[in-house]
Amino acid sequence: MTTAAPAPTHAHRPVPGGPALAAVFKAEGRLFLREPGSLFWMIGFPTALLVILGLIPSFREANPDLGGRRVIDLYVPIAVLLGMIMASIQAMPPVLTSYRERGILRRLSTTPVRPPAILGAQIALHGIAMIVSSLLAITVGRLAFGVALPFAQPGYILSMLLMIACALALGATLSAVAATTKAATAIGSVAFLVMMFTSGVWMPVQTMPDLLQTIVSLTPFGAASQALDRAMLGSWPEWQHLGIMVLWAAGLTGAASRWFRWE
Amino acid sequence: MPQNTPLVEVRDLRKSYTGRTVVDGVSFSVEEGEIFGILGPNGAGKTTTVECVSGLRTPDSGTVRVAGLDPVADHDRTTHLLGAQLQESDLQPKILVREALELYASFYKNPADWQHLAERLCLTQKLTTRFAKLSGGQKQRLSIALALVGNPRVVVLDELTTGLDPRARRDTWKLIEDVRNQGVTVLLVTHFMEEAQRLCDRIAVIDKGRVAALDTPSGLIGSSAGSTVITFTPSRPLDPAHLSGLPEVASVDRRGEQLTITGTDATVNAVITLLAQHRITARQLRVTDATLDDAFLDLTEATAPTAPTAGKAA
């Protein structure tokens, strides 16, 4: 560097917007790819679970209790939701919390780029991971077990996008309320078990007793599970389930932006 | 804007957190090209003060200006003029040195050449190393590089050398002098006397949220009572009362033949003159300067209620 040019102090120097934000996204993307463990749980694990379940012969047989569908048919949307749970609850909160804890946000506040840029990049990257994870589960489900592709169903796509919004807002809220990275991981683990249950990983929501099914349907992943299932059957998801997802996404986004502590 | 407007101006700054006053009426101004030190014990309000200067905190009252800009209201423009290395601000553990430099350079409209910066800061060998693998000194050098990469006019360095070994500390000092020689004004927060004494053109001593003194290092040392210590053995007996009668003398102590006198710079002349008048020569004469340490303790203890008053112990 040379002697600082005596810039006229009142000259308007616009903040570099696009290029700087793109650079932040690119840098965070590279860091994202340097976490193989986290990538496995978000993208590899849901499909691996699907394959393991698909290897159980009875899961590939038509089940009259499920209206002639196979268990594996139910598990593709569950694998899609599992990827979202992994990314939003297990992976994202510790990253965002550590950025606050390590003073990365603080350092960024002294530059022309504000901290929301880096948080936004991380949230977007986790959203992309959710989409990749979903596509992988759907593709493997089709190729290995002949589970119908859902892409012709606009209701499926809509439910998936709403659920991604919900999951990201949930992860952001956890990052907001957790004071430390350790706390984020701990809260994440508890939330993880709840979300696994409501999304039907252990017991597909369709097979739960009526009362439990009603309660679970009020949770974001429970509603999503029902909506995806309905869409898979070729009908439009119930408005009630879409509405529940919209409410959760909006409420959690509000909570995250209200409670997020920058330091 | 007139030429002599200070680059950084803080006037009557006050800030408290949940009822605890941390900064209680701090004023100072930093001229372009200075290394200005903010010195004080832990918890004196140093960091809060520079956080207000950097626009990270909104003062409760008082004004802060950086090149005429309000760092909070005009935050975006201030960030182009002011680079900061703050305490407890790390980078992502897996980011490479090179990536960090490139990334931060991309934030600015007229960035410095980051490769050149890396060279100056001896980071060229470490460009492909992850942040987490750097030593403490290397992390600090990278921090300085990031604070400078936007070509700022003023750089805030908070507790830069804390936790560094003496070698790395000296290297960092050299670096700060280099930075200033490149025309960048430096606002240096420290609690190391030696660091302040060696680097700073002027120092504001902050204690309990107030400016206890503001002067050049030698000015601060000279102003403290008992800053200069003179010891000698008079060639023939001398009544200590003659010495303690001098207005320039703070204290006189006799141990056997030897006399120990404390005072200021002016004391040396006064004592020599007195000896000459009495035709006494001073044998084994030693004059030792007090350090900034002594001045600092004087200044920061002066406000403590239990501090002993500097008396004339004869």
Give the contacts of B87 (CB within 8 A, at least 6 positions apart): A103, B47, B158, B159, B162
Does A240 reach chain B within 8 Å, measured CB to CB?
no
A6 within some domain: no
Q: Is A37 in CB contact (< 8 Å) with chain B?
A: no
The helix, strand and coil proportions of chain B, stated in percent and rounded to the nearest 5, come to 35, 30, 35
Taking the C-alpha atoms of residue B57 and residue A81, their distance in angstroms, rounded to an integer, is: 41
Considering only CB atoms, A23 lies closest to which of B83, B90, B103, namely: B103
Residue A149 domain boundaries: 27-259
**Secondary structure of residue B144 in the 3-state scheme:** helix
pLDDT at B192: 83
* Whole-angstrom distance, CA of residue B244 vs CA of residue A41: 80
A148 Cβ neighbours under 8 A, 6+ residues apart = A73, A142, A232
Cross-chain residue pair A104–B117, CB shorter than 8 Å: no
Three-class secondary structure of residue B84 per DSSP: strand
Identify the pLDDT of residue B226.
Answer: 62
Confidence band for A57, pLDDT divided at 50, 70 and 90: very high
Q: pLDDT truncated to tens, each residue of chain B (314 aa)? A: 445 689 999 999 999 988 889 999 999 999 999 999 999 888 889 999 999 999 999 999 999 999 999 999 999 999 999 999 988 788 999 999 999 999 999 999 899 999 999 998 889 999 999 999 999 889 988 999 999 999 999 999 998 887 778 888 888 888 889 889 989 999 999 888 888 888 999 999 998 899 988 999 888 877 766 678 888 999 888 888 888 888 888 888 888 888 888 887 788 888 889 889 888 988 888 888 777 777 777 777 654 444 344 433 33
Cα gap B91→B130, rounded to integer Å: 10
Q: What tokens does A4 get?
A: 């600082």
Q: Are B152 and B122 in contact (CB under 8 A)?
A: no
Q: Find, among A187, A206, A205, the residue nearest to A196 by Cα.
A: A205
> Residue A160: what pLDDT?
94
Pairwise CA distance, residues A155 & A236, whole Å? 5
Is residue A252 one of the residues assigned to a domain?
yes
Strand ranges across the sheet with B82-85:
B82-85, B154-158, B185-190, B35-39, B202-207, B210-215
**Cα A242 to the chain's mean position, in Å?**
17
* Confidence band, pLDDT 50/70/90 cuts, at residue A47: very high
Helix (H) or strand (E) holding B85: strand B82-85
Instruction: Compare all CA atoms of chain A with the CA of B84 and give the residue at the minimum distance.
Output: A110
pLDDT at B3: 54
For chain A, the domain total comes to: 1
- The verdict on residue A99 lying in a domain is yes
Answer yes or no: is the ipTM higher than 0.90.
no
- A19 at interface of B, judged by CB pairs closer than 8 A: yes
Tokens of B148: 């400078």
Interface check for B4 against chain A (CB to CB < 8 A): the answer is: no
In a domain, A100, yes or no: yes
CA torsion, ordered B77, B78, B79, B81, to nearest 10 deg: 100
Cα gap A255→A174, rounded to integer Å: 10
The pLDDT of residue B34 is 94
Question: Average pLDDT, whole number, for chain A?
Answer: 89
pLDDT, tens digit, 9 for 90 and up, residues A176-189: 988 888 988 898 88
What token pair was written down for B45? Answer: 């309000």
Which value, to the nearest 10 degrees, does the dihedral of the CA atoms of residues B77, A10, B6, A5 take? 80
Cα separation, B6 vs B4, in Å, equals 6
Give the amino acid at B230: I
Q: The pTM is what?
A: 0.82
Amino acid B4: pLDDT: 65
pLDDT band with cut points at 50, 70 and 90 for residue A119: very high
A16, part of any domain: no
Q: A14 falls in which pLDDT band (50, 70, 90)?
A: very low
Query: A30 and B153: CB-CB below 8 Å?
Result: no
A19/A26 Cα distance (integer angstroms): 10
**Could you give the CA distance from residue A260 to residue A172 in angstroms, rounded to a whole number?**
8
Amino acid at A79: A
For chain A, the 3-state helix, strand and coil shares in percent, each to the nearest 5, are 75, 0, 25
Tell whether A84 is covered by a domain: yes
Interface list for B 134-173 with A (CB within 8 A): 146-148, 150-153
In which element (H, E) is residue A253 found?
helix A239-259
Q: Which of A7, A115, A117, A17 is nearest to B69 (CA)?
A: A7
Asked if the model's pLDDT at residue A241 lies above 90, the reply is yes
Tokens found for residue B170: 């000296």
The answer to whether B230 contacts chain A (CB < 8 Å) is: no
Residue A10 inside a domain? The answer is no
For position A6, what pLDDT does the model report?
42
| Residue A3 in domain | no
